[in-house]
Amino acid sequence: MTKRKATDDANALSTLSTYTTIVADTGDISAIKAHSPTDATTNPSLIYKAALLPAYGKTVEEAVEKGKTLEGALDWLSCLIGKEISELVPGYVSTEVDARLSFDTDATVAKARTLISIYEQLGVPKSRILIKIAATWEGIQACRVLEAEGVTCNLTLIFSLVQAAACADAGATLISPFVGRIMDWHKKASGVEGFEAKDDPGVKSVTRIYNYFKARGITTICMGASFRNAGEILELCGCDRLTISPKLLTELEAMPSEGVVPHLSPTGCTKGPDVDTSEAGFRWAMNEDAMATEKLAEGIRGFARDLEKLEEVIKGKM
Catalytic residues: 132
Long-range contacts, 102-105 (Cβ 8 Å, 24+): 102/133, 102/134, 102/136, 102/138, 102/139, 102/300, 103/136, 103/138, 104/138, 105/138, 105/139, 105/141, 105/142, 105/145
**Region label for 306, one of left (φ > 0), alpha (ψ between -120 and 50) or beta (otherwise):** alpha
The Cα-based distances of 82 to 96, 125, 316 in angstroms read: 10, 12, 22
Continuous H helices in 122-229 = 137-148, 161-169, 180-190, 201-216
The Cα-based distances of 200 to 11, 12, 145, 181, 292 in angstroms read: 24, 20, 35, 11, 15
Q: Packing angle between helix 290-315 and helix 180-190, nearest 10 degrees? A: 120
For 1, the 3-state DSSP assignment is: coil
Write down the number of H helices and E strands in the chain: 14, 8
Each residue of 226-238: b (16+ CB within 10 Å) or e? bbbbbbbbbbbbb
Q: How far apart are CA 177 and CA 161, in angstroms?
A: 9
The helix or strand, by DSSP H or E, that contains position 155, with its residue range, turns out to be strand 153-158
Neighbours of 33 (CB within 10 A): 10
Q: Are 165 and 277 in contact (CB under 8 A)?
A: yes
Q: How far apart are CA 185 and CA 295, in angstroms?
A: 8
